[in-house]
Chains A and B, each alone.
Chain A
Amino acid sequence: MSNEIKTQVVVLGAGPGGYSAAFRAADLGLEVVLVERYSTLGGVCLNVGCIPSKALLHLAKHIEDSKHMADHGVSFGEAKIDLDKIRAHKEKVVGQLTGGLDQMSKMRKVKVVTGKGEFTGANELKVVGDEETTIKFDNAIIAAGSQPVELPFIPHDDKRIWDSTDALELPFVPEKMLILGGGIIGLEMGCVYSALGSKLDVVEFMDQLIPAADKDLIKVFTKEMQKKYENIMLETKVTKVEAKKDGIHVTFEGKNAPEKPVKYDAVLVAVGRTPNGKKIGADKAGVDVDDRGFIKTDNQLRTSADNIFAIGDIIGQPMLAHKAVHEGHVAAENIAGKKHFFEPKVIPSIAYTDPEVAWAGVTEKEAKEQGIKYEAVTFPWSASGRAIASNATNGFTKLIFDKENDRLIGGAMVGSHAGELLGEVCLAIEMGSDAEDIALTVHAHPTLHESVGLAAEIYEGSITDLPNKKAKKK
């Protein structure tokens, strides 16, 4: 029969946002129950998102790099792919992290209830799993996340039509594969399958891959992608997907559409994610959910119900784990009586493709739209000793400064390890650093991250590693 639990805080969803909120609340002395529908904690990110994809991308990168080594005098021969072993490796990585979460919830005395949770009232949540549990709570944090968007004209049931979760399962290496959607998730998986030997096409409705990022970055990025993809179809959409015995037949329409339908062995649908707001009985708790399934919160993450908070993908874009984690902390802290707000200046975005694309803060596009008087400076990695030595000269680092006060308002980079360079940019923006602050910070040499300092020097007019356009002024 049904159990009943009483608790101060229930957290619905154990993804990065949910477990962070639960652990933070527990650390602040609250009694916490964490509800998760799957048997492992960690949500999409740890189980079928960020982490497994990075495990595979790591392998992909080495496969690709080993091919180029021959040019530098080191030959490895053809890579041999053992799909089962790769899968096992990936699962080990995931298992290590999710296992860690189990332990940490035990340490913090966070009770985990497995099953699908739905609100039945303003202070009650019903969880249906192997058994049914009713949780009476004072406060709740909704962290129920999102799931891949499914398109109505696509037969998603077919085994050869994948979403990101399916693709990460590595069911087989298709000979010819279509990535539907030129965003981060699709392109990352594309890198994996390209390295494993698939021939790839990608189709994107907008006029560039990763539409949110600045054009100059994507120009470099697309050039690299052209080596991996047979056909990059921009400003093109898919109108028909037919699952036949010999393959998936896809019909395109638009600027770069092939005339005839193309046959693929697999299609990865990666056109975005949709929030799970409508699946949790939010209305019964008095939590407003909009038409698209997003829950609206104030900047303390409180929903329309005073005792219920919401965080992560379910409250809006960007749907990123690091945003959810910080929101989780703020929500837990507010429940614990603190008066905290979620108001960061920037939330970074990274595509872990090869090369990586990373940006934070205002993009040049946004700066123009917002009428900011800005100046963008770019340090090409072709002038970086470390990049040259590491075969990474195709990248560059761009910083965007507010000309009114010389403060950094945005930064972006494309290239190997670009994502690892972004941290400095985020910190600099949060701290209100101006160009001089960054230029006067001693960056280690030779590194890729020194390109951030050097870009600031370009703005300052003190650069010596490149011709200095502003030399006369200083």
Chain B
Amino acid sequence: MADAKEVKVPDVGGDEVEVIEVLVSKGDSVDAEESLITVESDKASMDIPAPFAGTIEDIKVKEGDKIKEGDLLALIAEASGSSDDGDDSDDSSDDSSDDAEEPEADSDESDDEQAQAADDSADEDDDSGEAKVIDVEVPDIGEDGEVEVIEVLVKEGDSVNAEDGLITLETDKATMDVPCPEAGTVKEVVVKEGDKVKQGSLVIKLEVKGSGGAKKAKSKDSGSSDAKSKDKQASSSASTSSDSKEDSSQESSSQETSSSRSRKPPVPDHPLARKGQSEGIVHASPSVRRVAREFGVDLSQVKGSGPKDRILKEDVQQFVKYELSRPKASSAPSTGGEGGLQVIAQPKVDFEKFGEVEKVQMSRIQRISGPNLHRNWVTIPHVTQFDEADITELESFRKSENEMQAKMKTGMKFTPLVFIMKACAQALREYPVFNSSLHEDGEHLIMKKYVHIGIAVDTPNGLVVPVVRDVDKKGIKQLTEELNEISAKARDGKLKATDMQGGCFSISSLGGIGGTAFTPIVNAPDVAILGVSKSEMKPVWNGKEFVPRLKLPLSLSYDHRVIDGAVAARFTTYLNHALSDIRKLLL
């Protein structure tokens, strides 16, 4: 009677829960109903009890693990006769008969599941031991909200290699491809153009060559590595194939699909998106539909907070409030309604009257960044401080250093920009108000203890601003490498949203092109931006004579609500000194 029995996670009323405490250890003897572990779901914490009395042979989970129904929890050697009421023998015979029925139950299951959704085909394939179907999800894209799928690059039946793009997503700042994690065949494409997805959204089902090995090995896998990475659905169906007692796990997986389905539409994010949402999915009573009509709210956009995601009147009210409070997006280019800026509309001009014209679509990035630029331009009181830095020494040092590097064939080549970045980082440390953001209440500043600098990069698709992190802590070489890397990514359109987030201050360098000065627009929530123009040899009076000095024009635009003119002048002066004598950068 002392055979170790598997104890599995019972129905925990949710998808995944975290183990927050393990209450027993190997060798402990436990009574039936004694708590083994404590888990915490998003709703509550609960103890998982031992199903029968016995001795703990092994504990398969540890604190911090994410577990779900059907996962192996522990091995317990069942105590003979020692437990309550003597119905223990009944228990065990029940158990063993359950075990015996297992295969039958399994086959029942798959019968049922065939009728179910396509994802169950994963199971069958799994069982065959040749190929398996994995779910490919949207990885961390650095966006909290949902982003739109603008292109689907694969279709069912396509063979794909690892790293092949599957779909293209568009975030506020850039577009990016979701790469294929493994080579295989596309079994099913779950998303379509126009869908909103976020981290964890299912993209495709991919059939990959199985790693070989018998079923047993695989079922163990599914407990550990599989479950970690794969989508909840997949893992729950994987556990279905490997574990028994799946009656209820099937239920939970179907609940999951239905809840994730109904959770998907709402998220009041993009007023124009999501047209195809079928009316039937919306879950709102007649009175709610009437309120929605009164406000012109598309209910498929509203997240329901009632039971089973029902949309309540309050949800519609919240939605309207939210929509009214958020800045007007691209839809209203003529008036920045936000601040009550009442301007007359642009007059319509029939350009064709004056000659041949052509209508060309603006680039995607332009279309996205336009409204943001416009908002920043009209809402931030800009002042631009001009200055010229003497970079004669810097340039001679840089050039000789580059020659050295070339001789040593390191491939390293320093640009003026990294020195400017380094000088800015130091200036931001010296004048921390430049390294701040205005709090939305307009009464506080958020002071940043880190120095991340955004670099405007001109790409074929338009202007993007990737961010180099911790500039103050990095050396010129490291910055050069990072800048090269990130610029290349920008030009290839491979920047992730996270690559463009977290900046404190921006630099826009047109020095390679020309110009004497310009007035850059502050990239909110930054409070300042440095524009750099083309350096020029100028005669400078040194007290006795004019000497030729290489002068670099600097244009510092800043948010005058946050920064006073005097501080701005000090900032550029400081920059000036740092660039004139880069030994100062060591200080």
Give the distance to chain A from B524, nearest Cβ to Cβ, in Å.
37
- Give the interface segment out of B181-189, B282-290, B447-455: B282-290
Interface residue? B281 (CB, 8 A):
yes
Residues of B within 8 A of A340 (CB): 290, 293-294
Residues of B within 8 A of A432 (CB): 283-285, 310
Question: A402-B280, A405-B262 given as contacts; is B290 within 8 A of A431 (CB)?
Answer: no
Give the distance to chain A from B173, nearest Cβ to Cβ, in Å.
36
Residues of B within 8 A of A430 (CB): 285-286
A343 touches B310 (CB 8 A): no
Interface residue? A38 (CB, 8 A):
no
Interface residue? A473 (CB, 8 A):
yes
Interface residue? A339 (CB, 8 A):
yes
Q: How far apart are the CA atoms of A345 and B289 in the complex, in Å?
A: 11
Interface residue? B405 (CB, 8 A):
no
Q: How far apart are the CA atoms of A404 and B254 in the complex, in Å?
A: 10
Residues of B within 8 A of A344 (CB): 286
Question: A402-B280, A405-B262, A473-B247 given as contacts; is B285 within 8 A of A431 (CB)?
Answer: yes
Interface residue? B89 (CB, 8 A):
no
Q: Mark B549-560, 1 if CB is under 8 A from A, else 0.
A: 000000000000
Q: How far apart are the CA atoms of A338 and B285 in the complex, in Å?
A: 19
Q: How far apart are the CA atoms of A431 and B284 in the complex, in Å?
A: 6
Residues of B within 8 A of A472 (CB): 108, 247
Give the distance to chain B from A423, nearest Cβ to Cβ, in Å.
14
Question: A405-B258, A405-B262, A432-B310 given as contacts; is B285 within 8 A of A343 (CB)?
Answer: no
Q: How far apart are the CA atoms of A407 and B309 in the complex, in Å?
A: 13
Q: Which of A392-440 contact B (CB under 8 A)?
A: 402, 404-407, 409, 430-432, 434
A339 touches B285 (CB 8 A): no
Interface residue? B270 (CB, 8 A):
no
Q: How far apart are the CA atoms of A127 and B537 in the complex, in Å?
A: 95
Q: Which of chain B's residues has its CB closest to A402's CB? A: B280
**Chain A count of residues within 8 A CB distance of the other chain:** 20
A341 touches B280 (CB 8 A): no
Give the distance to chain B from A335, nearest Cβ to Cβ, in Å.
16
Q: How far apart are the CA atoms of A8 and B285 in the complex, in Å?
A: 33
Residues of A within 8 A of B293 (CB): 339-341, 343
Give the distance to chain B from A434, nearest Cβ to Cβ, in Å.
7
B284 touches A343 (CB 8 A): no
Residues of B within 8 A of A407 (CB): 280
Give the distance to chain B from A401, nearest Cβ to Cβ, in Å.
12
Q: How far apart are the CA atoms of A473 and B285 in the complex, in Å?
A: 31
Give the distance to chain B from A469, nearest Cβ to Cβ, in Å.
13
Question: A402-B280, A405-B281, A432-B285 given as contacts; is B308 within 8 A of A341 (CB)?
Answer: no
**Chain B count of residues within 8 A CB distance of the other chain:** 19
Give the distance to chain B from A398, nearest Cβ to Cβ, in Å.
20
Give the distance to chain B from A40, nearest Cβ to Cβ, in Å.
32
Q: Choose among A339, A343, A404, A406 the residue that contacts B294 (Cβ–Cβ < 8 A).
A: A339
Q: How far apart are the CA atoms of A462 and B310 in the complex, in Å?
A: 24
Q: How far apart are the CA atoms of A431 and B290 in the complex, in Å?
A: 13
Give the distance to chain A from B291, nearest Cβ to Cβ, in Å.
11
Q: How far apart are the CA atoms of A407 and B247 in the complex, in Å?
A: 22
Residues of B within 8 A of A339 (CB): 293-294
Question: A405-B258, A405-B262, A473-B247 given as contacts; is B283 within 8 A of A341 (CB)?
Answer: no
Q: Mark B284-309, 1 if CB is under 8 A from A, else 0.
A: 11100110011000000000000010
Residues of B within 8 A of A406 (CB): 258
Q: How far apart are the CA atoms of A432 and B288 in the complex, in Å?
A: 12
Q: Mark B466-485, 1 if CB is under 8 A from A, else 0.
A: 00000000000000000000
Residues of B within 8 A of A473 (CB): 112, 247, 251
Q: Which of B232-277 contact A (CB under 8 A)?
A: 247, 251, 258, 261-262
Q: How far apart are the CA atoms of A149 and B251 in the complex, in Å?
A: 54
Q: Which of chain B's residues has its CB closest to A432's CB? A: B283
Give the distance to chain B from A400, nearest Cβ to Cβ, in Å.
13
Residues of B within 8 A of A405 (CB): 258, 261-262, 281
Residues of B within 8 A of A474 (CB): 247
Q: Which of chain A's residues has its CB closest to B283's CB? A: A432
Give the distance to chain A from B240, nearest Cβ to Cβ, in Å.
14
A341 touches B290 (CB 8 A): yes
Q: Which of chain B's residues has its CB closest to A473's CB? A: B247
Residues of B within 8 A of A343 (CB): 289, 293
Q: Which of A338-378 contact B (CB under 8 A)?
A: 338-341, 343-345
Residues of A within 8 A of B262 (CB): 405
Most buried by B among A402, A405, A434: A405
Q: How far apart are the CA atoms of A2 and B258 in the complex, in Å?
A: 67
B290 touches A434 (CB 8 A): no
Give the distance to chain B from A133, nearest Cβ to Cβ, in Å.
36
Residues of A within 8 A of B286 (CB): 344-345, 430
Q: Mark A71-92, 1 if CB is under 8 A from B, else 0.
A: 0000000000000000000000
Residues of A within 8 A of B308 (CB): 434
Q: How far apart are the CA atoms of A171 and B114 in the complex, in Å?
A: 64
Residues of A within 8 A of B283 (CB): 432
Q: Mark B83-118, 1 if CB is under 8 A from A, else 0.
A: 000000000000000000000000010001000000
Q: Which of A293-333 contact B (CB under 8 A)?
A: none
Q: How far apart are the CA atoms of A430 and B112 in the complex, in Å?
A: 31
Residues of A within 8 A of B289 (CB): 343
Give the distance to chain B from A23, nearest Cβ to Cβ, in Å.
20
Give the distance to chain A from B420, nearest Cβ to Cβ, in Å.
58
Q: How far apart are the CA atoms of A445 and B245 in the complex, in Å?
A: 36
Q: Which of chain B's residues has its CB closest to A405's CB? A: B258
Give the distance to chain A from B247, nearest Cβ to Cβ, in Å.
7
Q: Which of chain A's residues has its CB closest to B296's CB? A: A339
Residues of B within 8 A of A341 (CB): 290, 293
Residues of A within 8 A of B290 (CB): 340-341
Give the distance to chain A from B315, nearest Cβ to Cβ, in Å.
13
Give the distance to chain A from B178, nearest Cβ to Cβ, in Å.
27
A-B contact pairs, 7 of them (CB 8 A): A339-B293, A339-B294, A344-B286, A345-B286, A402-B280, A405-B258, A430-B285
User: Would you list the 9 A-B pairs with minimal beta carbon distance, nearest first?
Assistant: A432-B283, A431-B285, A341-B293, A430-B286, A339-B294, A405-B258, A430-B285, A432-B310, A339-B293
* Additional 17 contacts, C-beta under 8 A, given A341-B290, A406-B258, A431-B285: A339-B294, A340-B293, A341-B293, A343-B289, A345-B286, A404-B258, A405-B258, A407-B280, A432-B284, A432-B285, A432-B310, A472-B108, A472-B247, A473-B112, A473-B247, A473-B251, A474-B247
Interface residues of A (CB under 8 A from B): 338-341, 343-345, 402, 404-407, 409, 430-432, 434, 472-474
